[in-house]
Amino acid sequence: MIEEAIEIRTSDGNADGILFRAEGERRPGVIHLTDIGGIRPSHREMAKRLAEKGYTVLMPNVFYRTTKPPVIDVKIGMGDPKTMQRFGELRAPLAPEAVERDATAYVNFLTAHAATSAGKIGVVGYCFTGAFAMRTAAAMPGKVAAMASFHGGGLYTDEPTSPHLVLPRIKARLYFGHATNDRSMPQEAIEKFDRALAAWGGKYESEVYEGAFHGWTTSDAPVYNQPQADRAFQKLTELFAGTLK
């Protein structure tokens, strides 16, 4: 598996990132969006593992406006003042409109690449990029066939920019794996989100991973849950196997 540093021209600048591809092969494309910890060994391994299942995987640095990896130079820990300040710095430039502009650039880069086969692509987001994955599917409905989110936060809120409001623009098949007792996506929000998904009318699955807490898919997280992470990976590969050709 080739792990190649790449650069993507966006309307707001140049985004760095990594492309995982097989030499001399064209494979269906997938965009892997990291959690707020950014590109680092744990997510490199996740993206590589997915690529080894038969995909060309693009992992962009969604924080390119702010910094190159590593994006957080303090110990990740909710409540730590330095960490929370850094989270704010990373999030600040990522308004919904900026996310959709970036999404368009990422999708166009991946679909045009020589290592990507013709056809639609998939996208997966973790933590706060679960919403980014939704916005990617909404921004490029003609090119995104499948979208997944794991422990995605804030997918349903009362704000006018709530991610669930982009559902009418999405044509992809959707999968949502929610965490247990997630402050960023509590049970009430999950229930409202599920009702919004039902009203949307497309193909989707939404479930809570019992005993798996926010961040459970990532091996460097304090709450990493390997059995549930493996189950999440299986659901992800089943989604892509059934939609990407």
Whole-angstrom Cα distance, residue 245 to residue 243? 7
Domain edges within the chain: 2-241
Has 214 been annotated as catalytic?
A: yes
Mean pLDDT of 234-243: 98
Superfamily of domain 2-241: Alpha/Beta hydrolase fold, catalytic domain (3.40.50.1820)
Percent of the chain at pLDDT > 70 equals 97
Q: Residue-wise over 187-224: b if at least 16 C-beta within 10 A, else e?
A: eebbebbbebbeeeeeebebebbeebbbbbbbeebeeb
Q: Which residue has the tokens 């290592």?
A: 115
Choose, from 127, 151, 164, 178, the residue flagged as catalytic.
127
What are residue 2's phi and psi, to 5 degrees? -85, 130
pLDDT in tens, 23-53: 999 999 999 999 999 999 999 999 999 999 9
- Given a cut of 90, whether residue 73 has pLDDT beyond it is no
Cis? peptide before 69, omega within 30° of 0? no
The answer to whether 182 is a known catalytic residue is yes
Interval 77-131: pLDDT, tens: 556 777 778 888 888 889 999 999 999 999 999 999 999 999 999 999 999 999 9
Burial of residue 98, with CB atoms counted within 10 A of its CB: 0-12 exposed, 13-18 middle, 19 or more buried: middle
* The amino acid at 165: L
pTM of the model: 0.95
Q: Which residues pair with 126 in a beta bridge?
A: 150
